[in-house]
Amino acid sequence: MTRPLTVHSLVPLDLANTSAIASLPAHLRFNDNGPADIVIVGPDEKSIIQALKLQARGLVILRPSQLAANSVKELDAAGCALFPVLPLTASILDLDNVDTLAGAGIVRSHLAWAGLQIEGMTEHLSALQALLGPMRDFQLMDNGAESYSGTAASEGDVPIFWSGKSVAARPEVELDIVGTTSRIEIRGVMDGAARPLEFSKATVNGVCQSIGSFETGHRKFWRHVVSALETVDPNAQWRSFCSLHKTAQSLARLG
């Protein structure tokens, strides 16, 4: 049996991530003394510099939307696997989007985020791209102090309308995929608890039928870290995050 990967945090760790790691004892275990396979850092430059000296296999980055440009460059040059903590993206990453999006004519998505608006916007765009594939033609229609709305398009020219607010008590997602004869509804709360992501399907005559529940949040993120470390290209999600974070920053400045 493969030994569990060791995890060491250089910053105070919240309950959601601590619980997620502890719930996967066959794959992960904390090691506060000695070398670790995975080192957890914050967006601050001090913890990043310290982590790079440890030569871990992977770095997990908390609050990645708060990274300074210089820290992003240092991480890019690190030569190890990089995992930005994006719980909504992790929740959606492995869903079967082929069946879900068959015949999609329009996508509407709303994210209520308990944190900085740039964080919510980055998480929102990253999750949509994880589900829909590459997106383009980003535009911001409105950017207030507490809310935003914008448009984009998928590679298949499906129009995407995305909106959000940043003053929520807890992060909640509402995603509607509207097809020619039915609508897929995705609802979830991203608060670190073991809440499921709920899928339902509504037909044109208003009949709503549950499709199923899917695991969400931090536990799924950490399982992704374990599996990605064994792949040839573990940094695909990091590159996607960097690109979409730049897009979110540009849109926020334009607004």
Q: What is the pLDDT of residues 196-254, one digit of tens each?
A: 777 777 766 667 777 777 776 788 899 999 999 999 899 988 999 999 999 988 887 76
CATH number at residue 9: 3.40.50.720
Structural domain span for residue 102: 88-219
Percent of the chain with pLDDT over 90: 40
Q: What angle do CA 209, 189, 177 make, to 5 degrees?
A: 45
Q: What is the pLDDT of residues 98-127, one digit of tens each?
A: 455 556 678 888 888 877 888 888 988 998
Q: Which segments of 23-181 does DSSP mark as H helices, in order? A: 45-54, 69-76, 87-93, 97-100, 117-132
The tally of domains found in the chain comes to 2
pLDDT for residue 161 is more than 80: yes
- Flag whether 255 is in a domain: no
Report pTM.
0.86
Same domain for 193 and 106: yes
Same domain for 103 and 191: yes
Same domain for 39 and 103: no
- Flag whether 177 is in a domain: yes
Cα–Cα distance, 200 to 228 (Å, whole number) = 29
Same domain for 108 and 76: no
Query: Phi-psi bin for 192: left (phi > 0), alpha (psi -120 to 50), beta?
Result: left
Mean pLDDT, the chain, whole residue set: 84
Which pLDDT does position 119 carry in this prediction?
87
- Flag whether 238 is in a domain: no
Structure tokens at 116: 């900085």
Q: What is the pLDDT of residues 19-70, one digit of tens each?
A: 889 999 999 999 988 789 999 999 999 999 999 999 999 999 999 999 999 9
Percent of the chain with pLDDT over 70: 88
- Flag whether 69 is in a domain: yes
- How many CA atoms, within 13 angstroms, populate the side-chain half-sphere of residue 171? 23
- Flag whether 78 is in a domain: yes
More confident residue, 9 or 188: 9
Same domain for 78 and 23: yes
Which H or E run includes 40? strand 38-41
pLDDT for residue 255 is more than 70: no
- Flag whether 211 is in a domain: yes
Closest of 218, 238, 224 to residue 81, by C-alpha? 238
Cα–Cα distance, 220 to 67 (Å, whole number) = 23
Cα–Cα distance, 196 to 199 (Å, whole number) = 9
Cα–Cα distance, 120 to 248 (Å, whole number) = 9
